[in-house]
Amino acid sequence: MLDSDVRARADRVAGRTVRSLECGTGAPVVVLLPGLGALGYLMDALTEYGARSRSFLLDVPGFGVRGRPACRPDVKAVADTVLDWLEAVVAGEPVVLIGHSSGAHAALRVALRSAAVRSLVLIGPPFPPEQRTVSGLLRAALRDVVHEPLSLVRALAPYYIRGGPIAVARYLISTARETPERSIADVACPVLLVRGEHDAFAPRHWVDRLASTARCGQSVTFSGAHSFPFQH
């Protein structure tokens, strides 16, 4: 059940339906992109942003409901869809774009192409080069999972069940193929990178490297692991 302040939307964008959750009023517009298509763990974050500004949590690639997804389950397709959505729904308004996990890579791609993005926030951007293999991913997952709350499973499972294991795996593989270290310097707006202190997928050396590569970058560490927005 949605919070009474949260409104469900379904917008026709470039011939497809892009669903989102909207909360709050005012400027700038805050747009939040979830990790691996799961919305549930970011609901509290959405309402907190909505208490200050008009905020959206986008259902991309479309695991929020059964039926035709908004786009293919990969980072590039998600970014392309978000670009079309920004033009159709919030055209002309300044945007604070926030992406968590795989959503951080999609947000980075969007910021490289959209002048509407005035500030970019990358939360827990995965994966450093040493994790772009099966063994590297598994080692990071084992280090991270011991710091995650059990209640996170309940928040993620419905989305991954609806998306299906093949789609989730494709999205994960596409995330591991991203190389943000090669493009973040081209982002014109300020970039804030945020990680949890126990986030094995976004270790400090990696996040600090991205922040130092950006034109105007800053890195911050909070308590928690990779899913710390779920707890904060």
pTM above 0.85, yes or no: yes
User: What tens digit of pLDDT does each residue of 188-229 get?
Assistant: 999 999 999 999 999 999 999 999 999 999 999 999 999 999
User: What tens digit of pLDDT does each residue of 4-57 get?
Assistant: 689 999 999 988 999 999 999 988 999 999 999 999 999 999 999 999 999 999
Which SS3 state, helix, strand or coil, does residue 19 take?
Answer: strand
Assign a CATH topology to domain 6-224: Rossmann fold (3.40.50)
Domain spans of the chain, in order of start: 6-224
H or E element: which one contains 154?
A: helix 151-163
User: Do the Cβ atoms of 149 and 224 come closer than 8 Å?
Assistant: no
Q: What is the dihedral of CA 97, 102, 106, 108, to 10 degrees?
A: 60
Which SS3 state, helix, strand or coil, does residue 172 take?
Answer: helix
In the block, tokens 């911050």 appear at 220
Beta bridge partners of 96: 30, 119
H or E element: which one contains 186?
A: none
Copy the structure tokens of residue 74: 């990969």
